[in-house]
Structure 1
Amino acid sequence: MVHPTAKVGSGVQLGENVVIEPNVVVGDRVVIGHNVVIREGTIIGDGCVIFDGSILGKRPFRSAVSAVTEEKQLPPLSLGKNVVVGANCVLYRGSLLEDNVFVGDLVVIREEVRVGAYSVIGKGVSVENKTTIGKYVKIETNAYITAFSTIEDYCFVAPEVTFTNDNFLGRTEERKKYFKGPTLKKGARIGANATILPGIVIGEDALVAAGALVTKDVPARKIVMGVPAKVVRDVPEEQLLERQSFYRPDE
């Protein structure tokens, strides 16, 4: 079903049981799989691929006890050019995915999230609302990125990493004044199964070892490990972002 007010470009391929709601804009050469739902106003750039069963432009709904979901008007979901969205993903209204972003299967990206160009969001990742992700970021399978987090360019987040944003663990109204997810500065890397506590800043090119519990800010270019995490040594020179062939400082 394609609503009469939707604008569908040339060379678009539609699977079976696709629903395209009012005022949707679909660019040229877009491929849309079976059973995809594209909600009102969503913008899809040229060359995008949307795999089976995904929902684009979902409106958030608020639980009676939610502390971070707001009831307000949100702009449409917008996908840049050549974005790939895997099967059975849910992308919320009010978010922006820039050109060449890759989203794996079973990903949820909440409202008011921005994902920079060429970033990869791996299978089963959850990105909560009001989060900013830079360009050339890689977030691997089943990582949890909590609301109000910031991940700068060229960061790496390994599988099963957990970000947190509430030091009060859901108790007291005062906690609402202090919600803050972690901040990963440019080129920071987080190992598998690490947990980052609320408001922590991981410095540029720092490395958090697998399984670490990060309770304090991490200085730039340092390696931390343990529970709680402590500085153990410098990041080796050959591992620094500026030494990598894929690094494009002028973009």
Structure 2
Amino acid sequence: MHFQHPSAIVDSGAQIGAGTKIWHFCHVMAGAVIGENCSLGQNVFVAEGVILGKNVKVQNNVSLYSGVICADDVFLGPSMVFTNVYNPRSAVNRKGEYRQTWVERGVTIGANATILCGIRIGAYAFIGAGAVVLKDVLPYALWVGNPARHIGWMSEYGERLYFDEQNLALCPGSGEQYRLEHGQVTKI
């Protein structure tokens, strides 16, 4: 069973996982799939065809448009934006041209960030507040700015990683060790 605030609208045909909380003024359309133990903050819109895994936290004022797929443990910051059409025009119907956007497990997207449609954000990547992401992001990568650029690496715990001469880093929060090899990070 899920919790739904009286002001929220969940259309018949939406799938909502147990333990999920849907707060004030949200709208979840038929055909949306929301996993267990998710949280939709105030004024969240979830379109048909959106898929959210387990434990996804969607902060206030986020719209999830058709084509957005988020894996487990994703955090979507306040007022961040997804797009689903690459070249929208009011007078041109492009509903058949929606592009999928994949957000892999454990990703954090900061407040007011914008994510261009048709890209993949790798597991545990961290997108800074206000970033405008125009291309794919590697797992564990830290991206900031407009346009967003890669400036470092993050741990699964959400701490910045600093690699030594042997390309090893220790997460200061969890004590877990990571390796940087051929431009990609893996947890050891």
By the TM > 0.5 criterion, same fold? yes
Q: Kindly, what percent of the aligned residue pairs are identical?
A: 27
Amino acid at match of 1:166: V
Number of the residue aligned with 2:142: 223
Q: Please identify the structure whose Cα radius of gyration is greater.
A: 1
CA change 1:185–1:114 in 2 (3 A) is: same
- State the alpha-carbon separation in 2 of the partners of residues 148 and 212 from structure 1: 20
- 1:184 corresponds, among 82, 92, 103, to 103
Contact 2:77 2:109 in 1 (8 A): yes
- In structure 2, what is the Cα distance between the partners aligned to 1:96 and 1:177? 23
Is 1:137 the equivalent of 2:56? Answer: yes
Contact 1:146 1:181 in 2 (8 A): no
Gaps of 5+ in 2: 160-173, 176-188
CA deviation profile, 1:12-69 (whole Å, cap 9, x unmatched): xxxxxxxxxxxxxxxxxxxxxxxxxxxxxxxxxxxxxxxxxxxxxxxxxxxxxxxxxx
Which position in structure 2 is the counterpart of 1:85?
Answer: 4
Deviation of 1:178 (Å):
2.8
2-structure distance, mates of 1:238, 1:151 = 18
Structure 2 residue aligned with 1:113: 32
Q: Secondary structure at the match of 2:111?
A: coil
Structure 2: distance between partners of 1:135 and 1:203: 17
- Structure 1 segment 148-159 matched on structure 2, within 5 A: 148-159=67-78
> Are 2:22 and 1:98 equivalent residues in the alignment?
no
Matched residue type, 1:110:
M
What count of residue pairs does the alignment treat as equivalent? Answer: 160
- Per the normalisation by structure 1, the TM-score is 0.60
- AA at the equivalent of 2:18: D
Q: Deviations over 1:126-184 (max 9, x none)?
A: 111110000011000111111121011000001001110001213645x4443124211
> Are the aligned partners of 1:163 and 1:181 in contact in 2 as well (CA < 8 Å)?
no
AA in 1 matched with 2:85: D
Unaligned runs of 5+ in 1: 1-80, 245-251
- RMSD over aligned CA atoms reads 1.8
Structure with the larger strand share: 2
What secondary structure sits across from 2:151 in the alignment? strand
> What is the TM-score normalised by the length of structure 2?
0.80
- Looking at structure 1, the residues matched to 104 and 143 of structure 2 have their Cα atoms a distance apart, in angstroms, of 15
Q: Which runs of 4+ in 1 moved over 6 A?
A: none
Of the two structures, which has the highest relative contact order with CA contacts closer than 8 Å and spacing of 6 or more? 2
